[in-house]
Amino acid sequence: MMRIREAAPARAPAGPERSPDGIERRGGAGRRPGAVSCGPVRAPLDLAALAARLPPRPRTRFAPAPTGALHLGHVVNAIYVWGLARALGGEVVLRVEDHDRQRCRPAFERGLLDDLDWLGFEPDHYPTHAFRAGACEGRQQDREGVYREAVGRLVADGLIYGCTCTRKQIEEAGGTDTTELRYPGTCRAAGHPLDEGVGWRLRLDDRLVRFEDGRLGAQAQAPAAQCGDVLVRDRLGNWTYQFAVAVDDMAQDVALVVRGMDLLPSTGRQILMAELLGRHVPAVFVHHPLVMKSPSAKLSKSDGDTGVTDLRQQGWTPAAVIGAAAARVGLLSAPRALAARDVSTLFSA
């Protein structure tokens, strides 16, 4: 039985990390009792046990949002994604999560594609040249029809309703006993039409979702207590992160979702949404450590933390950047050169 144990994180040159998680957080609030239950953190990653839960040649995805430059946090995610995919004999989908049309920029997309090429991480589905060529099924803004068809099924089932609440109104009505903003169901029975300028929400049952994280062990989450009915389309016409990834992971046959610990709270609601959309077997999830710039703050594009492009300009090699990122989360005991083609050795050796 193969177990990969993470070493204590090594100190390495500072680099950045951020993922738009779609979680609206309330500052200074405690956790809502029963909303999230995390089992004891299990450091070893049991590759054999993970493989037993997956189909042959499992498909995973690398899914950055073009809202800023790639940084060491993204590199850590790429190490886990490509490393586990190759160790398991699987495949990697490249997905550009540009669902937020107000924040995403074509220049950031071009930059992340260039950085991926430079680092040497090559996707098996939707290679970088496919995005440069024009419309691509790996780009969320090119999947409008897919999302409309999916939400149409939920509308037909009576699960979607219109919501006119502003964030301020939700904050005022939602109480202060949860770490994220919880929608209290104000518009559930209001009968607002699903027009432009109106948010669309998905009714969630009050149920506990249990799943086994490949790294962290047994988890239990109650999405209705965490966040309430999930917004699937905002008032500006953007499909939300929570909805788009549930649709895409199902449509693109993603069996293994590998992502940072900051997205762990989203897992239960995404499993539940996928079930409502018709997914019979949920994806397997692995949540990995984050690169932190302080004990309480992860690296962030929006804060201007150093990006991969900056390191390139400073003379770093791709192998040096990958090795530094691996060391920052304890996959290496100290920074050393590590090529993209060799990241599977961190999980299979």
> Is the pLDDT reported for residue 21 higher than 90?
no
Of all helices (H) and strands (E), which one includes residue 167?
A: helix 167-173
- pLDDT score for 44: 63
pLDDT digits (tens, 9 = 90+) for 99-147: 999 999 999 999 999 999 999 999 999 999 999 999 999 999 999 999 9
> Is the pLDDT reported for residue 29 higher than 90?
no
pLDDT digits (tens, 9 = 90+) for 142-195: 999 999 999 999 999 999 999 999 988 998 886 545 578 899 999 999 999 999
The position carrying tokens 């006993």 is: 177
The 8-class DSSP code of residue 8 comes to P
Mean pLDDT of 203-225: 96
Confidence of residue 22 (pLDDT cuts 50, 70, 90): low
Confidence of residue 300 (pLDDT cuts 50, 70, 90): low
Q: What is the pTM of this model?
A: 0.86
Percent of the chain surpassing pLDDT 70: 82
> Is the pLDDT reported for residue 323 higher than 80?
yes
Instruction: Write out the residue range of the structural domain in which residue 113 sits.
Output: 3-348
Mean pLDDT of 229-242: 96
d(CA 136, CA 100): 17
- pLDDT score for 349: 54
Mean pLDDT of 31-51: 59
CATH number of the domain residue 223 falls in? 3.40.50.620
Q: What is the dihedral of CA 204, 250, 199, 236, to 10 degrees?
A: 160
d(CA 278, CA 85): 25
d(CA 99, CA 147): 11
> Is the pLDDT reported for residue 11 higher than 90?
no
Mean pLDDT of 73-79: 97
- Which residues, 6+ apart, have CB-to-CB distance to 165 below 8 Å? 173, 183, 186, 187, 199
Q: What is the dihedral of CA 47, 53, 59, 60, to 10 degrees?
A: -60
User: What tokens were used for 293?
Assistant: 């710039």
- pLDDT score for 41: 38
Task: Report the SS3 class of residue 80.
Answer: helix
- Which residues, 6+ apart, have CB-to-CB distance to 256 below 8 Å? 50, 54, 58, 59, 60, 84, 85, 88, 90, 214, 283, 284, 285, 286
Phi-psi region of 313 (alpha: psi -120 to 50; beta: other; left: phi over 0): alpha
SS (H, E, C) 260-305: EHHHHHHHHHHHHHHHHHCCCCCCEEEEECCCEEECCEECCCCCCC
Q: Taking Cα atoms as reference points, which of 49, 57, 130, 53 lies closest to residue 95?
A: 130
Confidence of residue 197 (pLDDT cuts 50, 70, 90): very high
Number of domains in the chain: 1
Neighbours of 65 (CB within 10 A): 24
- Looking at every residue in the chain, the average pLDDT score rounds to 87
Q: Taking Cα atoms as reference points, which of 346, 301, 343, 340 lies closest to residue 317?
A: 340
Confidence of residue 34 (pLDDT cuts 50, 70, 90): very low
- pLDDT score for 87: 97
- pLDDT score for 155: 98
